Amino acid sequence: MAQYELANLTPEDYAAIREIRRTTTRVYREAVAGGIEDGVFVPIDVKRVVRGIIALAIDPVRWYRVEGSDSPEQLGEFYAGLALAMLTSAPPAPDRGAVRPAVAGATTASVRD
C-alpha cells in the first residue's frame, strides 16, 4: 500500500521520492536500451517494457505475506524470469485498441492492451 501513501508525504519527502523514482526509471531504461543495442534483448518499446518491469517490482508490496507460500528469494527469481521473458521474447503485435478474446474468468478490461 506504500504507493497509495505518497499523498501523505511532506512536499520535501515527496520530491525526494520522485527523484529516486526518476533515477530508478532512468537506470532501467538505460539497461534495457543497452541490451537492445547489444542484441541481448529483442527490439521492444523501452518505455513500456520498463513500466512493466517496475510494476512487477512494486506490486508485491500490496499482497505479499511472509507466511505465504513463496519466500522473497523465490518471488525474486520468478519475477526476474518474467522480466527477462519480456525482454527476450517477441513483443505482442499492436492491435489498434481491439479487444482480445476473453480468457475464462477474465474481465473485458483485463484483456485490453
pLDDT tens profile 4-29 = 678 889 999 999 999 999 999 999 99
Side chain identity, residue 54: I
Helices 72-88 and 46-58 pack at an angle, to 10 degrees, of 170
What confidence tens digit (pLDDT) does each residue in 73-111 have? Answer: 999 999 999 999 999 988 777 765 545 444 444 443 433
Distance CA 63, CA 59 (A): 7
Instruction: In whole angstroms, give the CA distance from residue 25 to residue 57.
Output: 12
Is the pTM higher than 0.85? The answer reads: no
Give me the phi and psi of 71, to 5 degrees please. -80, 160
CB-based contacts of 82, cutoff 8 Å, min separation 6: 56
C-alpha cell at 103: 480468457
Q: How many angstroms separate the CA atoms of 28 and 49, rounded?
A: 10
